[in-house]
Amino acid sequence: MEKGDENMKWMSFKQDGKEKYGFYEEEKQEVGIVSDMEGAPATLAAAIEEQEFLASISRDTKSVPYIKETSIEWLAPIPRPLKNVMCVGKNYRDHAIEMGGEVSVPEHPMIFTKAPTTVSAHKASIPAYESLTDSLDYEGELAVIIGKKGKEITREDALDYVFGYTVLNDITARDLQSRHKQFFIGKSLDGSCPMGPWIVSKDEVADPHNLAIQTTVNGEIRQQSDTSHFIFPIDEVIHVLSKGMTLEPGDIIATGTPAGVGFAMDPKGTLQKGDTVEITVEGVGTLSNTVQ
């Protein structure tokens, strides 16, 4: 991408009930409304597919109208992904061990998915589902947004297929996760995949395998790690996923969570109504959501 695209925070939002997208200007707390420009693709996912279009936009682009953040409702950057959100399970050794001991450290990437209906926004409420689960848990993660279509992608080429990065909370009902054996039900409650606030393009992230990641609950640090601890780095995950499956622009891959989930604490620190979870990934952003 061009120099002018540095620090672009691509986001989706609602204005007067209409889904739009643009970029966030953190200093001014304003949103540049790219989707209102002539010839703009309809959604951020469509714009990611047409990379030249987004590459032509910078904060110096004169024709971009601006709006105050206070008059928009945040949406997930990709509010309705094409396919399920793909998630790497147990990709940090310390988390694998806290959940199941040494034997649960995987030898091959372990992939499960979350339904597209789980996706929700920065600042959106996380539903408590008190009648369904007594162990709703957080998982702070770095997520990868795929930028171009590909299959049989080599490890060497894998990062060329990445558009950018966002922050994701892989909310999990632990009791449902174990009761139903397959993770899908416990990982797919509506609203259980907050992500955002925005996507930063890959060029702004010098090394995605060297980013601090931290999760707090009501301000208390619960998870603190670094993406250098991935068992399976991003290029390997993309290579393995794409061996027999086409990856498409706007596909989302959550890279796994480090140790410190509420379920592994003694006493348990799973989520209660009113709890606020904040996840920060260095150089990407901070995602904040409250259980209600």
With H, G, I as helix, E, B as strand and everything else as coil, classify residue 3. Answer: helix
* Of residues 5 and 139, the one with the C-beta less far from Mg ion: 139
* Of residues 5 and 170, the one with the C-beta less far from Mg ion: 170
Q: Cα dist. 225→18, 94, 146 in Å?
A: 38, 10, 24
* Of residues 51 and 135, the one with the C-beta less far from Mg ion: 135
Q: Which of 139, 248, 251, 278 binds Mg ion (CB under 5 A)?
A: 139
Structure tokens at 273: 């109504």
Can residue 188 be called a binding residue for Mg ion (CB under 5 A)? no
Spatial separation of the C-alpha atoms in residues 285 and 282, rounded to whole Å: 7
Residue at 221: amino acid letter: I
Per-residue binding string, Mg ion, 49-68, x by CB under 5 A, is --------------------
Are 257 and 172 in contact, with CB atoms under 8 Å apart? no
Smallest distance from the beta carbon of 119 to Mg ion, in angstroms? 14
Spatial separation of the C-alpha atoms in residues 61 and 34, rounded to whole Å: 10
* Of residues 23 and 165, the one with the C-beta less far from Mg ion: 165
Can residue 257 be called a binding residue for Mg ion (CB under 5 A)? yes
Omega before 197 within 30 of 0, i.e. cis: yes
Measured from the Cβ of residue 243, the count of other Cβ atoms closer than 10 Å reads 9
Backbone angles phi, psi at 248, to 5 degrees: -130, 155
* Of residues 35 and 223, the one with the C-beta less far from Mg ion: 223
Smallest distance from the beta carbon of 256 to Mg ion, in angstroms? 6
Omega before 267 within 30 of 0, i.e. cis: yes
Structure tokens at 80: 């309705």
The stretch among 3-11, 197-205, 252-260, 264-272 that binds Mg ion (CB under 5 A) is: 252-260
Residue nearest to Mg ion (CB): 170
Q: Could you please report the per-residue DSSP string of 156-188?
A: TTGGGGEEEEEEEE--EEHHHHHHTSSSHHHH-
Are 188 and 129 in contact, with CB atoms under 8 Å apart? no
* Of residues 59 and 83, the one with the C-beta less far from Mg ion: 83
Can residue 225 be called a binding residue for Mg ion (CB under 5 A)? no
Smallest distance from the beta carbon of 95 to Mg ion, in angstroms? 8
Smallest distance from the beta carbon of 65 to Mg ion, in angstroms? 38
Smallest distance from the beta carbon of 189 to Mg ion, in angstroms? 14
Q: How many residues sit in the footprint of Mg ion (CB under 5 A)?
A: 3
Q: Which of 5, 30, 98, 170 binds Mg ion (CB under 5 A)?
A: 170
* Of residues 22 and 194, the one with the C-beta less far from Mg ion: 194
Are 166 and 11 in contact, with CB atoms under 8 Å apart? no
Smallest distance from the beta carbon of 25 to Mg ion, in angstroms? 31
* Of residues 31 and 254, the one with the C-beta less far from Mg ion: 254
CA 213 to centroid of chain Cα atoms: 13
The stretch among 1-9, 105-113, 136-144, 243-251 that binds Mg ion (CB under 5 A) is: 136-144
Helix (H) or strand (E) segment spanning residue 40: none
Binding site for Mg ion (CB under 5 A): 139, 170, 257
